[in-house]
Amino acid sequence: MIDLKLLESDFENIKKRLLLKKVDEKLLEEVKVFFEMQKPLKKSIEDLQAKRNSLSKEIGLYMRNKEIDKANEIKKEVEEIKKEIASLEEELNELNQKLYAKALTIPNIPDTDVPVGDSEDDNVEIKKVGEIPTFDFEIKPHYELGVNLDWLDFERGVKLAKSRFTVFKKDAARLERALINYMLDFNRKRGFEEVYVPFMVNKESMTATGQLPKFEEDLFKVIDEDLYLIPTAEVPLTNLFRDEIIKDFDEPIKMTAYTPCFRKEAGAHGRDTRGIIRQHQFDKVELVCITKPEESDKVFDEMVGCASDLLSSLGLAHRLVNLCTGDLGFSAAKTIDLEVWIPSQNKYREISSVSNVRDFQARRAKIRYKDGKKNRLVHTLNGSSLAVGRTLVALMENYQKEDGTIEIPEVLHKYL
């Protein structure tokens, strides 16, 4: 959640930055109205509290002078003031709850160095890494390769569930597992502690990281339970520290985890309908870091470097892209996407997003640390390292041979 005090004190400037992220201006104006409604209530409460305190002192004075009747008279007045304060505080609390509900739907403020733009067409390429492969034969897309090799069974995936579910068979199943193990080992060597987390979380967890209430339509919910299937390991990893004050916070907390991810893909109808690029269930290895504010930029660069080096170790050409304001995610203050080369599409496709969320999630989740005697909000960061299914797609297409077989990168041999 954004800092409401900052929004109130610098409303017009923050509003301009939020509008770059396509925020509904009406929503911000509604929040401004709440700010204006709060002021007279707070002032009335403060004035009444000051009057109550002053009268309470008078009661003591009259009691010492044994003017009991006068003291009792003022006591009655104080009781009436207390009732009035309680009534105003209840009104203010109701107002605050409405304001909080509105605030939960306001996205994070983009960093000032995020490029301004309306859509992915305005994203800024930072650099390309690796050589794009060339082929002296007609290449096939991964879904044709997968069917021909009896690796991917799309029809039975639909039979078992529905469209956008796929059965992995034979070497595809083994390669998926090999990639997960390789990614976890790679990240662990980079200093990320491996964690295994639940694949379902409660409403508080989803709210803390920003999936709720804004994106409920994209989540799979367990009927009659306060549980949701996770859309990414970012959710349980970040929530490990929800409602906590972290002790001995000398170094950033760096974690990596494998989980399946579940997304309804609402609004994605007609996109990537063939193959396994966009699925309702997919595997992902995630990076999550919790840092002090002054360390988050450095850790952000480390996470981007880790994901990029992982792709390079697999021999996959990719590029780094700085997302513009209009393409930035709800919780992110800044995001760098890594896009891997997909030969059949003759283009780069997203395989990782690394985001610095600043204190946006920490404020919602109440994740703090001791800075001297003061409690401060941490910064949280997250990134894919990597989306496993899309990595499998990239390997199949980039390492395909003329006879339709797939060469396996040497770094994966020991896992197979």
- Return the exposure string of 108-137: e unless at least 16 CB atoms fall within 10 Å of the residue's CB, then b: bbbbeebbebeeeeebeeeeebbeeeeeee
Listed residue (194, 255, 208, 202) closest to 230, CA to CA: 202
**Do the beta carbons of residue 237 and residue 195 sit within 8 Å?**
yes
Separation of alpha carbons 349 and 353, rounded Å: 11
Strand duo 379-387 + 374-377: pairing: unpaired
Query: What is residue 203's three-state secondary structure?
Result: helix
350 is catalytic: yes
The residue from 52, 263, 363, 368 that is catalytic is 263
**Do the beta carbons of residue 165 and residue 280 sit within 8 Å?**
yes
CA distances from 318 to 312, 327, 342, 416 (A): 8, 19, 9, 25
Separation of alpha carbons 141 and 130, rounded Å: 21
Helix (H) or strand (E) holding 365: helix 360-365
355 is catalytic: no
Separation of alpha carbons 40 and 297, rounded Å: 40
Separation of alpha carbons 41 and 26, rounded Å: 24
Cα dihedral sign, 273-276-278-279: positive
The residue from 190, 205, 390, 397 that is catalytic is 390
80 is catalytic: no
Residue indicated by tokens 């995001």: 335
The residue from 242, 278, 319, 376 that is catalytic is 278
CA distances from 224 to 212, 221, 228, 403 (A): 17, 9, 11, 51
Backbone angles phi, psi at 72, to 5 degrees: -65, -35
- Burial status of residue 97 (CB atoms within 10 A of its CB: 0-12, 13-18, 19 or more): exposed
358 is catalytic: no
Cα dihedral sign, 338-342-343-344: negative
The residue from 8, 58, 77, 350 that is catalytic is 350
363 is catalytic: no
- Burial status of residue 91 (CB atoms within 10 A of its CB: 0-12, 13-18, 19 or more): middle
The residue from 331, 353, 355, 384 that is catalytic is 353
Separation of alpha carbons 211 and 104, rounded Å: 10
Catalytic residues: 263, 278, 350, 353, 390
